[in-house]
Structure 1
Amino acid sequence: MLSLDPGTSMTKMVYCLPSEIPSKAEMLCMESELIKISKDSLDLYESGQMSRPNPENEAWIEYKEEYYAVGFLAQKYFEARINFLELKYENAIPKTLAAVGAIAMREGLNSHLDLSLGLLLPYGEWEDRERLEMGLKKALSNFSFRGKEFCVNLISFQCLPEGGGLVLTRSKKLGTDFNKMNIAVVMLGFRDISAVIFTRGISTGKTEGLGLAWMLERIKSRTSGQNLNDLLKAVHLSGSALKPRFFNTLARSKNAEFKAAEVAQIIEVAELSRKEYWNKVSIWLSVNIPVDIQQVIIGGGTSEYLATELKNLFTYTEISWAAELEEDVRLAFNLPPKKDAMCLRFTDVYGLFRYQKTTSTMSSHRAS
């Protein structure tokens, strides 16, 4: 049983083996990079390896006679870069194959498997879920992971818009009141932001390319020689008050005086870009979130970065931060508090996983 969020900054997974009693939830992350490669390039890579890394760090797959490197291998060896124009639902197929293969090898499973899969997509791509399901069924039935052939039977598939795991969690807590209220779900991610509005249970939504990457691209275009991954790390560690010590590693100059001036310039640009970014986000939210909303559920990795601004924007309504799932995630996987914001980033996919597990248990009880 696998719940998967093929995010642009990280592929996040929660899984369990229902055959184990009791079945224990496990979490797994993979870098989000993905690149199509040739058989010759793969053979050259394989010939130069002296050891065998963990499967999630050396993930390559083959299906339909095409080869893909996924995650850390794609990023580190094949120098793949994130393409913000690519559709997540198309990339979800090779990412799912890599996830299934990596988990199977980690857990010592055989090559013939039954899979219950839950998947999160941006609201703007959610309408493609039926096409995705057909593609997944076909691909899973015949693929190879690191040269091992797999035949996976997709026995159930649940696809929800990003924020769906939070909605399911919150609606369970609210019970019948959920369908009597006007509720907004706001997801702020690396590539996109989205808003789904539930008006007495009926949903509508929108997605916009205003994730944190918008701000990072702004900084990159106004400074010299920066890349998104390094900027993301500095911005994330520094938080809303941009501190010089987190930006020192971005300076390219070796001269101490020039380096200090370079860091100061990067911070000045970052502060301006942050203001411009929040201005764009706040306008979009104000346009797309009705004023009669009785509760707003806020999630996604970027929400912590903009927490103060979001609190000030939504003073007129009740805020549910990640459906109060952060502590549940921390306890489920024994994570230290605030560890790289990992608890927050896993709330949505963990909420989906718990829903999958509940519906699977219910189905098995009915069948018995």
Structure 2
Amino acid sequence: MSETSRLPDHMTVIGSYQGLPITDTRSLVEAELPLPELRPHDILVHVLAVSVNPADVKRRAGAPTAETLTVLGFDAAGTVVAVGPEATGYAVGDEVYYAGDVSRPGSNAEYHAVDSRIVGRKPVSLSWAQAAAVPLTTITAWEALFDKFKLTSDSTGTLLVVAGAGGVGSMLIQLAKRLTKLTVIATASREESRDWAYSLGADAVVDHSGDLATNVLDEVPDGVDYIFSPYSKGNVENYAKVAKTFGEVCAIDGHPDLNLQPLMQKSISWHWEWMFTRSVFQTADITDQRDLLDRASQMFDAGDLRTTLTTELVGFTAENLREAHQLVESGRTIGKVVVVRP
């Protein structure tokens, strides 16, 4: 491991001892913990900004009561301060961004140990906050489009992006429009959400607050080829109506009682996308996440992608993280909420 003698023995972290409503000041608290020990492929990052995703909110709300603090957080941007013995491609001082690993302590910490194989080089053109807004959603959108749907630069057809103004939807629209020939139909219910989806490149935006299937088919009477679904419960029958025969759905939300039977007669395929699969199971292609983040970084710097940061809270405190969680939990945020060190 690279020289760490200048680093402190302990660090400040923010986490939870139990699942509580975000309005409770005990829902997220600050604590002191020893610096993490690095695994062979790890790098140690001085975290300068983090974003809050729906996954963070769900993990906090469902945290078990325990004497040991659960350190939350996935998305992060920061500088490398130490390198594990088998970590390659990074040196102390490098600027990075990444989405972390759900099976390890999170990024809401002063210093964070993360597997270097799922870390990308921070886009030079983005601030720390702008960079921290995008890793998890970029990985999720990228894997949905190119790993699950198997799309290429020559792919045509129509993609329905449910909740196009959300974090993943915002990146999915951009990637689909930049890297495929798809027509992109987004869904949104508020004027500001519709405007946001159009600004990212959506070809059309339909209202999902009423009869989703009717509204989609009014726009594309022949139906759609691909559907991205962050809200699957209660929507499977709608998807069966709007998808073409042999269409495909990629979902990022799981429900134990989800009934996929309505999809059978049209032979509609259902894919699951969980961006932590590679890191949790240490798959042979784990470095694909590093590669796609590096590719995205080049696209951000070239102006082909834009950050989805919309709210920046300055000050790495439990109070600010509680506010960020509350904003995301409201379900009315557009883009991403980020907490950044001053």
TM-score (structure 2 length as normaliser)? 0.34
The structure carrying a bigger helix percent of its residues is: 1
Q: Which has the higher contact order (CA 8 A, sep 6+)?
A: 2
